[in-house]
Structures are given as structure tokens and as C-alpha cells.
A and B are shown apart, each in its own frame.
Chain A
Amino acid sequence: MTVGAPALTVRDVTKDFPSGGGTLRVLHGIDLDVGPSAQVAIVGPSGSGKSTLLSIMGTLEDPTTGDVVVGGVSTATMSDGDKAALRSRAFGFVFQQFHLLEHVDATRNVELGLLYAGFTSKERRERALAALDRVGLGRRTSHRPGQLSGGEQQRVAVARAIAHDPRVVFADEPTGALDQATGASVMELLRGLTSTALVVITHDEAVAASLPRLVRVRDGRIEQDVDQVVRA
């Protein structure tokens, strides 16, 4: 399971949303540990709360009760600014829709991931080029998203997510907008990231089966949390 201190711990997190006249409880007391090189698939049907869980783990949203502890530090009482700073250094995000800037090239897009983390302009450029190389786009650094295929765009997004050597990479349905084969190669890329923890939200069972740990979520609760043999 986990080796060494967890990179991230979810501690008794609940989340309520206002709904109709009252509130709707979307997460019920979630507990989860993610080790420093863990690779976790969080799977569940639509409406199960898995996307909300990812947002809370990534400090993009606050839990109603409970805490997310990152590298031993509690985020429950952190200000917006401190959480932003934490994300800039410790987290990387990959989204289904890529969320690349259309009018700048791949290098600039990757540099965006480093912009708020305090790197100098020179450092940003170096790291961005290195990251693009790592994801196999060393020859595409000046291309704009419009000149790249879907799979290549997602690789740029992965490069952006890892350029600053984060603790955890969160991927929200990373293969959702890609065909089967391309999706598989992106997953292979993600699995190859050895120095970070990886948390992948997916509704695709095949994708879930490719990661060593499976967390199944249903109706806002963890139904199952197992290690599995990977069938890549």
C-alpha cells in the first residue's frame, strides 16, 4: 500500500451543497491516504462524488468538514493565498478538456504551470522544455494547440502538470476526450511518472484497471479500496 509518509491524506471529509431549500450531502466522511509514489484510480458512476473528491483533494474546493493534509501540513485553516501557493508547488492537474491556451505555443503553455510558483523566466523555460521532452514532444515545442492532435495536447497538459516536480498529479478523466488507443498511450505516460503520486478520476473501467490501486466511490462513500494486479 503506502511506503513512507503519505503525500496526501484525506481525513473525514464531508461536503454539502445547497440544493432546493436545503443541502445535499455529496461526500460522507471520506478517509484516504495517498503515498508518495502511489498511483490511485478513483472510479465511480456519474454523480458518485468522485469529481468533488478530486477538487477537495486538490484544494480547489473546501470541504464542509474534515481536512486534507499535504506533506504533514493541514490545509483546513489555510488562506486562499496559502492554498494557491501550495498548489503551485505541490500539485499538478490534468483535465479532460486539456485547458491549454489556444494562442500560445506548447512551451508557453507548459510555462504557465510554473508562472505562479516563483521561478525565474529562465528557469521556467528550461523546465518547460525538459518536461516536453519527457512526454515525447521535444520536437513540438513551438507548436500551438491547434497544430497538435488531441493526444499531443494532453501530453502538453501532462508536461505542464509535472514541470515543477509536484508531489501529486491529479488527473480528472484524462482520457475522456481521446480515442481508445490515444487514451491508452496517455495513461502509459502517466503511469511512467515515477517521482510523484498519481490520482486519476475515471469512469472508464479499463483505465481504472491499469493502475495498481483502485478506490471505488458510490453515493459519496468509499465502497472499495484495494490494491490490484495491473493489466496494462
Chain B
Amino acid sequence: MTVRLSVTDTLATATLGPRSRPMRSVLSMLGVAIGIATLVTVIGIAGTNQAHTRAQLEALGSNVLEVTPGDSPDGPVPLPETASAMIRRIAPVEGAAAIRALPHQKVFRTDLVPETMGSGITVDAVEPELAGTMDLSVADGRWFDDATSSLPGVVLGARAAQLLGVAAVGQRVWIGDQWYGVLGILAPAQLAPQFDMKALIGDDWAVGHLVDPQVTTIYVRTRSGTASQVRQVIPLTANPAVPHAVEVAARSRLEQAQTAVDGSYRALALGLATIALLVGAIGIVNTMVIAVLERRGEIGLRRAVGARAGQVRLQFVVEAALIGLCGGVAGVVVGVLVTLGYGAANAMTPMVDPAACAAGVVLAVLVGAVAGAYPASRAARLSPTQALRGA
């Protein structure tokens, strides 16, 4: 003969307390609201900062990897010809290009300069993909395409062109033992300043006409945040036969710095949020214990009119969970607003994490329910007689 209250009745009963003491209910949900607001805000601000920092670091090249041939016990192992094409097929890779350094080739304005005089300009044979991978743009003329890559043409770095006195496309320079036509002149390269002093010739031409040009470096550009993953996959992709002879280096230490920054932001966020939620939970426990004391008469009465101890307990647990829910929703709203404000104030794109918001609300409800458990069981154990008489 167990009579259960309907969901509507249970909720109506549980909201009686908060509705009759609105100010106190607001104060008790404040703790949880602050905790969840902190969680959402810290994750939001951390995410906003992270995204901003990452964008800055990427502008400096932290998502660019350099792949170079390494050694095996039998001696140096060259990178296979197919390596750059295979690396391009790795999903998070946005671009990869092979470079063959040609240290013995010297660049001169005319064929009359003695070989022994250097100009400081180095020559590399490059795949056409280099421009996209390293963000090289052409100030004058054109970059290589598949056709011109197999012709004796050269693209000069910004500084190299100045030194050679080449001002316009169509002029010729002397590289090694023949003339090359200037196809294009690069703008100063922000991401890879070493190319400012280079003369770049086509990969296909070099392979066909120069002696033994080995791939010396493959530059790889990865999608934001995937550098570490790609780095692990590159050796086997580049040289399946001898993967340990493939060296992969981060463009600089910036990648490690970024990982460290990510990690410390996350730890900070979780630490602060946990503390804040704990404080919020204590607030709810406190409020509910007082509420149970104050409402002894009501509790005794409910028992007198037929409420079971379990129903009394449920009433107070649900009440506490509802306080948590309201606190959680309020906290999420505040957290989102603060994150948006932070982004606006710092001219960054605000990154609000919807998963954190949803988790915040769920967490708040759980915190409320757990916090309410102890006061609720005290309420359930009250002797109806004493509760009625003592009130």
C-alpha cells in the first residue's frame, strides 16, 4: 500500500522552502553560483588566452616542424624521395615541402665573377609546396608552379635580390655554371627569415640536371594544436624502412612552451573551481541544516499526515538539488558574460566552452544533492512528536 507522490507534487513540495524564503535561498545558491561562475570563467578565460597565444605562436612558427635525415649505425640515411608526398597525406598536415640545399652552387649577377668570391646567398632546390607551407609571398613576379619547376628559373629572397641588384623579373642570374631566369622576387618572409637570403630553384629541374641533390630538410606545417601528434607519426611515414633515422625538430622551443602553458592553465582552472564548489557546497549544507531546524514543525506535521521518513528525506534532497541547479545556471550565465567581457576588453576572440557550461550545471545539481543529503537525513530521523512539540 505504498503511496508515491507524483513528480509534480514532489517538485511543488521541494520548492516550498525556497519560495517561502526567497532571500535566504538566493544567498544559499550564491555559493554554488560563484563556484560554477569561477569554473566557467576560468575555463573560458584560459581558453581565450590559449587560443590567442596559440595564434601568436603560430604566427611565429610553432606549428612548423623540420624533418631532417638522421643516422643509422651504418651511416647517414637519406630521406626517401617520396617522404614529402607521404607526409602531406597525414591528416592534420596543412603543407609539407622538401628542400635540397645546394651548397656548392653559387649565385652571381654575371658570369664574370670568379668562383672563389662568395656573396652569402645560398641556393636551395625547393618543391612548389614551399610557398604555402612557409607562408612565402611573392612581391614581384610569380612563384613556381609544376611547369616552371622543371625549367631553369629562380625565385630570389627579398634580401638576395637586393644584394644581386636584381630589381625586376625577367633578368638573369648566374648560378653554378649557367644562367637562370628570375621568375619572382619574394617579399620578406616573416615566418622563415632564412629565405630572405636564398636563391630558390625548381625541384624538378635540380633533380634532372644537377648531381645527386639529396633532400636536406622537409618543412611541415600542421593544423593548430596538432604538432605533437604529427611529430610522432612523421618518422614512420617519411621512412617506413628506417624510421629511427628520421629527425623531427620543432621549429623552435615555442611548441614546448605552448604545451606547458596549456597544462598550467587547465590545472589552475580545475583547482580554483574545485575550491569554489566546495565552499558552495558547505553553504548549502549550512542553509539546509538551519532550514531543517526551523521547519521542524512542518516536518512533524508532514509525518503526522502520513509522510514516510523517506519522503521527507527526498523533499529536502530535491530542495537542495534545486538550489544547486539555480546556482549552477546563474553561475554559467555570469561565467559566460565575464568571458565575453574579457574577450572584448582584451581584443581577443572569446572562447566559451559549452561542455564546461553543461558540466557546470550538472555538477551544481550533484553538489546540491550531496550537500542536502546530511540535513535531509536529519529531517527524516526527527521524531514527529518532538518535532511537533518543539516547534
Instruction: Give, as a whole number of angstroms, the nearest-CB distance from B309 to chain A.
Output: 6
* CA distance in complex: A203, B168 (Å): 117
Instruction: Say whether A116 contacts B19, CB under 8 Å.
Output: no
* CA distance in complex: A115, B309 (Å): 15
Which residues of chain B are within 8 angstroms of A102 by Cβ–Cβ distance? 20
Instruction: Say whether B303 contacts A84, CB under 8 Å.
Output: yes
- B-side interface residues, number (CB < 8 Å): 31
> In chain B between 1 and 59, which residues have their CB closer than 8 angstroms to a CB of chain A?
1-3, 5-6, 8-9, 13, 16, 19-20
Task: Please tell me which one of the listed residues B3, B308, B388 contacts residue A95 in the complex, with CB atoms under 8 A apart.
Answer: B388
Binding site for A on B (CB under 8 A): 1-3, 5-6, 8-9, 13, 16, 19-20, 297-298, 300-311, 383-385, 388-389, 391
Known A-B contacts A85-B2, A101-B16, A103-B20; the reply to A116 vs B384 at CB < 8 A is no
**Nearest chain B residue, comparing its CB with the CB of A114:** B305
Which residues of chain A are within 8 angstroms of B2 by Cβ–Cβ distance? 81, 85
Stretch at the interface among A6-14, A54-62, A135-143: A54-62
Which residues of chain A are within 8 angstroms of B311 by Cβ–Cβ distance? 116
Instruction: Say whether A99 contacts B297, CB under 8 Å.
Output: yes
Task: Please tell me which one of the listed residues B16, B304, B310 contacts residue A104 in the complex, with CB atoms under 8 A apart.
Answer: B16
Known A-B contacts A99-B298, A115-B13; the reply to A84 vs B391 at CB < 8 A is no
Instruction: Give, as a whole number of angstroms, the nearest-CB distance from A115 to chain B.
Output: 7
* CA distance in complex: A151, B13 (Å): 27
* CA distance in complex: A175, B303 (Å): 22
**Nearest chain B residue, comparing its CB with the CB of A51:** B389
Q: Is the interface of B mostly helix, strand, loop or mixed?
A: helix
Which residues of chain B are within 8 angstroms of A81 by Cβ–Cβ distance? 2, 308, 310
* CA distance in complex: A118, B303 (Å): 15
Task: Please tell me which one of the listed residues B306, B383, B385 contacts residue A116 in the complex, with CB atoms under 8 A apart.
Answer: B306
Instruction: Say whether A113 contacts B305, CB under 8 Å.
Output: yes
* CA distance in complex: A58, B301 (Å): 12
**Nearest chain A residue, comparing its CB with the CB of B383:** A61
Which residues of chain A are within 8 angstroms of B306 by Cβ–Cβ distance? 84-89, 115-117
Instruction: Say whether B305 contacts A87, CB under 8 Å.
Output: yes
Known A-B contacts A58-B304, A87-B306, A99-B301; the reply to A116 vs B5 at CB < 8 A is yes
* CA distance in complex: A118, B8 (Å): 13
Q: Is A19 an interface residue (CB 8 A)?
A: no
* CA distance in complex: A56, B9 (Å): 29
Which residues of chain A are within 8 angstroms of B307 by Cβ–Cβ distance? 84, 115-116
B5, B8, B301, B385, most chain A CB atoms within 10 A: B301
Q: Is A48 an interface residue (CB 8 A)?
A: no
Can you list 22 A-B pairs, Cβ within 8 angstroms, ordered by A?
A51-B385, A52-B385, A80-B308, A81-B308, A84-B307, A85-B306, A87-B303, A88-B3, A97-B297, A99-B297, A99-B298, A99-B300, A99-B388, A101-B16, A101-B298, A114-B305, A115-B5, A115-B9, A115-B305, A116-B3, A116-B306, A117-B3
Which residues of chain B are within 8 angstroms of A172 by Cβ–Cβ distance? 388
Beyond the given pairs A81-B310, A93-B304, 11 more chain A to chain B contacts, judged by CB atoms under 8 angstroms and listed by A's residue number, are A55-B385, A61-B384, A61-B385, A81-B2, A88-B305, A89-B306, A101-B20, A103-B19, A104-B16, A112-B301, A116-B308
Which residues of chain A are within 8 angstroms of B310 by Cβ–Cβ distance? 81
Which residues of chain B are within 8 angstroms of A104 by Cβ–Cβ distance? 16
